[in-house]
A = this chain, B = another copy of it.
Amino acid sequence: MVRTTAGAVRPVSGVRITGGLLRQWQDRNRQATIPHVIEELRAAGNVDNLSRLLVADPPAYRGRYPFLDTDLYKTLEGLAYEIGEGYADEGARAFFDEIVGLLQRVQAEDGYLNSFFQDPAAAKKPWEDLTWGHELYNLGHLIQAAVAANRRMGDDRLLRVAIRFADLVVRRFGEGGEEAVCGHPEVEMALVELYRETGDRDHLTQARLFVDRRGRGHLEYGIMPPEYFQDHLPFRDLPSVTGHAVRMVYLAAGATDVHLETGDRTLLEALVRLWDDMVATKLYLTGGLGSRHSDEAVGDRYELPSERAYSETCAAIGTMQWAWRMFLATGGAKYLDVFERVLFNAYAVGLSADGKAFFYDNPLQRRPDHQQRSGAEAGGEPLRRSWFGCPCCPPNVVRMMAQLGDHVAAERDDTLFLALYTEGRVETADLALTVLTDYPWDGDVRVTIDRAPGRPYALALRIPAWARDVTLDGEPAAAEDGWLTVEREWAEGDELRLGLPMPVRGHVSHPYLDATRGTIGVARGPLVYCVEQQDSPASVDDLVLSAAGVLDAKIAEPGDAVALRAMAGVAPPPSEELYPELTAESSAVAETEKVSVTLVPYFLWGNRGPEAMRVWLRAK
């Protein structure tokens, strides 16, 4: 959660999600994902890595990576939101206390805390390898958990731990100190949040220093190039998002936080430019970021292959964090369009329907004879996996799921902005209201005023970029810059009814986007759809969609707006030749059989076994 002290709008923290898809997701988070993650963390040794340091001659660190404490921190952060909202699972509460207790005891005299480096037998010493040590990245996640616990649970134990570590970092890397940055950005947004919580400007200054120092050659490049770390150019000079995707969006989110609290316009200019370029050239239809498995990197402009989309789940979360902060900084609805696109597609797909398995990378296509990478590190599971050797994604999914309510509303002066539609209740100092909707399955949104401000006050309703023929209380209504603003002197019980029609849409690709040329992607509302082989009588590679077929597509089961049904052509079996010779006759489109095909939301794919899947279907 973000609690800004400046910016165009302020986030509203008093939101409860009471029903609908997001509530189902949050219930699943409590009932399935959190217990599963705790179990896996224990099994993988993340807890033992801390507790071993309390005994003489400790056993070896378990795991390949020195940042495994962060998976505990992300889980604690998620738990703090959930417990703050009344989650009462005894195992989860005991886990929270156990880990906090361990952290308090393991923390060194000077405030240092890292279960990999505190082992006297570790291969590296503290601060020896900032490029790969992830110690500041670790601190960042510790701070975020600590702030969440303090704000939501009123529990300041972790905050005191975090402040001690942060103060050590300020002493060592602060103004006049060692000119260093961490190989993995993350601590920047955390330090700004710590400043917001404590008011200690040293933490804000430290965040600014880490942003400003980047791109000045402070890291050591071995097999990875400087771009991987966003260390090849100062942040303000980056021409485009680049390098390791998660590092990139964490850094951008942190830079946005620094802008929010310092008002630095040069940062905002760079952020807007990088954002617009990313949205125009580097995001998947699903909102996913990262086109390359190699280096888990962003890729060039328009390089967006479906089957090799990396689109890491953590990059989706980082993109949401950046988007939300850009909205807070500017009030721009376009950032929320992306937030929503990522939320319902690139982020949501990372978790299985049962809440206990995770995609690390999220392709938009699976070929019929796809060779799943196997092996010890890569795991043998053909689709989502229960855990990873680098388990950054699962607890990241947990903490984002737990704080979705913090991304529903914002306020400025006498205006409340509804950013994300869900059944829920919003309370601010000025007013309280209830939202009833089945969004994202349906675009009907009813807002009831439960407590009125007692003065003229505006409700700004976000109109998604995909919405056409919007109505307010049944009448055509026009949005301005993505907002439909209704200012009134409200009374308790007043109602508004927003209509966001959700016909099925087709999308095509920019002509420079080679990977999806000549194909159509299907969407409805904020959801991107796909065809899984289980739902098609013909091979998904042979399906041919026409514009009419897409525009005539319907909800498959009336009253249950999950799956769609569309008519598609079936191309005749292709010749076996890989590169047939072009002839003078324009290639005649052969007559095709018509079949009825079911499309499911992309985020639900891969829950019924490893068959072929396509988001982008061949166009007629």
Interface residues of A (CB under 8 A from B): 221-228, 232, 239-240, 242, 279-281, 283, 285, 292-295, 300-303, 305-308, 365, 367, 369-371, 373-378, 466, 505-521, 541-542, 547-548, 550-551, 571, 574-587, 616, 618
Contact residue among B374, B466, B616 (Cβ-Cβ distance under 8 Å from A227): B374
Q: Are A506 and B371 in contact (CB under 8 A)?
A: no
Q: A232-B374, A367-B303, A375-B221 are in contact. Are A519 and B514 (CB under 8 A)?
A: yes
Contact residue among B239, B370, B378, B514 (Cβ-Cβ distance under 8 Å from A307): B514
Contacts of A378 in B (CB 8 A): 225
A577→B285 CA distance, assembly (Å): 11
Most buried by B among A221, A225, A293, A579: A579
Contacts of A240 in B (CB 8 A): 369, 371
Contact residue among B295, B307, B577 (Cβ-Cβ distance under 8 Å from A510): B577
Q: Are B579 and A227 in contact (CB under 8 A)?
A: no
Q: Are A302 and B227 in contact (CB under 8 A)?
A: no
Shortest A568–chain B CB gap in Å is 14
Q: Are B587 and A373 in contact (CB under 8 A)?
A: no
Contact residue among B279, B294, B508 (Cβ-Cβ distance under 8 Å from A294): B294
Contact residue among B232, B292, B377 (Cβ-Cβ distance under 8 Å from A308): B292
User: Which secondary structure characterizes the binding site on chain A?
Assistant: loop
In the assembled complex, 6 residue pairs joining A and B whose CB atoms fall closer than 8 Å, in A order, are A222-B377, A227-B375, A281-B578, A305-B515, A510-B574, A512-B541
Contacts of A519 in B (CB 8 A): 514, 517
Q: Are A507 and B582 in contact (CB under 8 A)?
A: yes
Q: Are B581 and A507 in contact (CB under 8 A)?
A: yes
Contact residue among B308, B509, B577 (Cβ-Cβ distance under 8 Å from A578): B509
Contacts of A375 in B (CB 8 A): 221, 223-228
Q: Are B303 and A574 in contact (CB under 8 A)?
A: no
Most buried by B among A226, A515, A584: A515
CB nearest to A303 among chain B residues: B307
Q: Are B587 and A374 in contact (CB under 8 A)?
A: no
Contacts of A232 in B (CB 8 A): 374
Shortest A111–chain B CB gap in Å is 34
Contacts of A514 in B (CB 8 A): 305-307, 365, 515-516, 519, 616
A227→B372 CA distance, assembly (Å): 10
A516→B508 CA distance, assembly (Å): 16
What 9 pairs between A and B have smallest CB-CB spacing? A225-B375, A506-B582, A293-B294, A518-B518, A507-B579, A517-B518, A221-B375, A294-B294, A300-B367
Q: A227-B371, A517-B518 are in contact. Are A511 and B584 (CB under 8 A)?
A: no
Contacts of A585 in B (CB 8 A): 547
Q: Are B547 and A225 in contact (CB under 8 A)?
A: no
Shortest A323–chain B CB gap in Å is 16
Contacts of A374 in B (CB 8 A): 225-227, 232
Contacts of A571 in B (CB 8 A): 511
Q: Are A582 and B508 in contact (CB under 8 A)?
A: yes
Contacts of A371 in B (CB 8 A): 227, 240, 242, 300
Shortest A464–chain B CB gap in Å is 13
A239→B368 CA distance, assembly (Å): 13
Shortest A216–chain B CB gap in Å is 15
A587→B619 CA distance, assembly (Å): 11
A305→B516 CA distance, assembly (Å): 11
Contact residue among B303, B306, B521, B577 (Cβ-Cβ distance under 8 Å from A579): B521
Please give 18 more A-B residue pairs, beta carbons under 8 A apart, in addition to A281-B578, A510-B579, A518-B518. A232-B374, A242-B371, A292-B293, A293-B294, A305-B308, A466-B581, A507-B582, A508-B579, A508-B580, A508-B582, A508-B587, A509-B578, A510-B578, A514-B519, A517-B519, A520-B582, A547-B586, A550-B582
CB nearest to A375 among chain B residues: B225
Q: A240-B369, A579-B285, A584-B551 are in contact. Are A574 and B511 (CB under 8 A)?
A: yes
